[in-house]
Amino acid sequence: MKSTFQKLALAAALAAGLAGATHAEEFLVGAELPLTGSLARVGAGMQEGIMVAAEVFNRNSKHKIRIATVDDESAPAKAIAAVEKLASQGVVAITGGYGSNNIAPASDAANKLGLVYITSGGVDDSLVSSGRKHFFRINNTAGYEKAVLGVFGDMAVKKVSIVYSTKDATSDLAKSVQKALAAKGVAAAEHSFDPAITDFKPIINKIRLQDKPDVIFMVGYENDYVGILRAARVLKPQVKAMVGVWSLATPKMANEFPDLMPNVYGTALLPFPANFTTEDGKNFADTYKKMYNKEPDYLGQFGYVQSMLLFEAIARAADNGTIKKGGIAEEMRKTDRETLIGRVQFGGNGDNLNFSHRMGQHQGKNIVIVWPKENATGKMAYPAVPW
């Protein structure tokens, strides 16, 4: 028989072992997304990536993630309400958001509630300069600007007309690109428009008659691109290329607007169809195809990366017993790893220190990466326009 001392020692050892062990837990994570309204297409694409991330994570981790999704209807007030509703449901963090004007109030609400908020849908610099301690993003204006200027350099453009929405993120990028072009001796005429505009023919006609540029650079969102390209298709300005940024070089746009997209440029980290070579990439692509029966695009890729980094931070915080002590934000700041969009590290302001984008071009049913040259999957069609 064991002595009293042996029994006490065994009990102490078991207690210590249990204290040091971490048990599997399930965590509810909120997804605040524009599933209706003007940003519905990008919201749907991001949601697909979020759900794929949850599936892959749950398959490979002892901890489990469950997603609660609320539609913010592409509206700032609804974005705040979505965050508050998710908080009331007990989420430990939030992923999603699209459009800086929606993300700013939503992330403010999350910050007040002490919830980590991560996105790839907002590049307005004020998002990371306003003291939000729980805000993180994996992309930024600098990465988009670099890609746009890079492709303009390869085109050797002499004159650009910039058509941009007066929203903060679009205005910031347009003015930053204009300033950089001016420094290179490239003339850049600016044409701002109210986000509520639906008829772009007056702006395109002015560009056609007065500016006569090499390229029209569109800085807006999906509905804006559609309106601008429709007006250009009617008026046929003598330009060599139509170039945009986010939410443009996607298969969704090609499928829904096949007459408008040929030869149009937009930011894209991967070609379409994509070829993934890493284990992480193959897990993402294979799971995406099984869940949605289609090839993944960059919106899904962004949603996957931001969410997987969040889920991993939640798991580390759970293992450390710090979920309720700000541990998720702390673990996010420790993030440093290669992802499907390159190396991700978050600075003290929550911005990804390493983000750099690429430029894609709609060519037939494919999206071809045309800049930078080391990542190109095909040659740039230039001059070339949709009409």
Q: Considering just the CA atoms, what is the radius of gyration of the chain in Å?
A: 23
**pLDDT > 90 fraction of the chain, expressed in percent and rounded:** 88
Using 50, 70 and 90 to split pLDDT, how confident is the model at 168? confident
Q: For residue range 297-313, what is the model confidence (pLDDT) as tens digits?
A: 889 999 999 999 999 99
pTM for the predicted model, two decimal places: 0.82
Residues 186 and 258 in one domain: yes
Task: State whether 61 and 117 are in the same domain.
Answer: yes
Q: 63, 90 in Cβ contact below 8 A?
A: no
Specify the number of domains making up the chain.
2
Tell me the pLDDT band of 183, cut-offs 50, 70 and 90: very high
Is residue 199 scored above 70 in pLDDT? yes
Q: Are residues 160 and 202 in the same domain?
A: yes
Q: Average pLDDT, stretch 345-354? A: 96
Q: Identify whether residues 183 and 85 lie together within a single domain.
A: no
**Distance in angstroms (rounded) separating the CA atoms of residues 120 and 299:** 9
Q: Tell me the one-letter amino acid at 335.
A: T
171 shares a domain with 105: no
User: CA angle, 48 as apex, 42 and 51 as ends, to 5°?
Assistant: 140
Q: 90 in a domain, yes or no?
A: yes
Q: Which helix (H) or strand (E) holds 117?
A: strand 116-119
Residue 266 sits in the same domain as residue 320: no
CATH value at residue 285: 3.40.50.2300
> Quick one: 206 and 77 in the same domain?
no
In a domain, 19, yes or no: no
For 311-337, what is each residue's pLDDT tens digit?
A: 999 999 999 999 999 999 999 999 999
Report whether pLDDT(350) > 50. yes
Domain that holds residue 309: 26-140+276-345
Tell me, yes or no, whether 292 and 212 share the same domain.
no
Q: Are 188 and 215 part of one and the same domain?
A: yes
Residue-wise pLDDT for 16-43, tens only, equals 444 444 689 999 999 999 999 999 999 9
What mean pLDDT do residues 355-373 have? 95
Judged against a pLDDT cut of 50, whether residue 14 lies above it is answered with no
Q: Any residues with CB less than 8 A from the CB of 330 and at least 6 apart, and which?
A: 317, 322
pLDDT attached to residue 22: 66
Structural domain contains residue 14: no
Do 370 and 327 share a structural domain? no
* Same domain (yes/no): 219, 288: no
Q: Band of the pLDDT at 286, cuts 50, 70, 90?
A: very high
Mean pLDDT rounded to a whole number for the chain:
93
Same domain, 334 and 233: no
The answer as to whether 308 is a domain residue is: yes
- 282 part of a folded domain: yes
- Asked, for residue 12, whether it belongs to a domain, the answer is no
- Tell me, yes or no, whether 380 lies in a domain: no
Residue 38 lies in a domain: yes
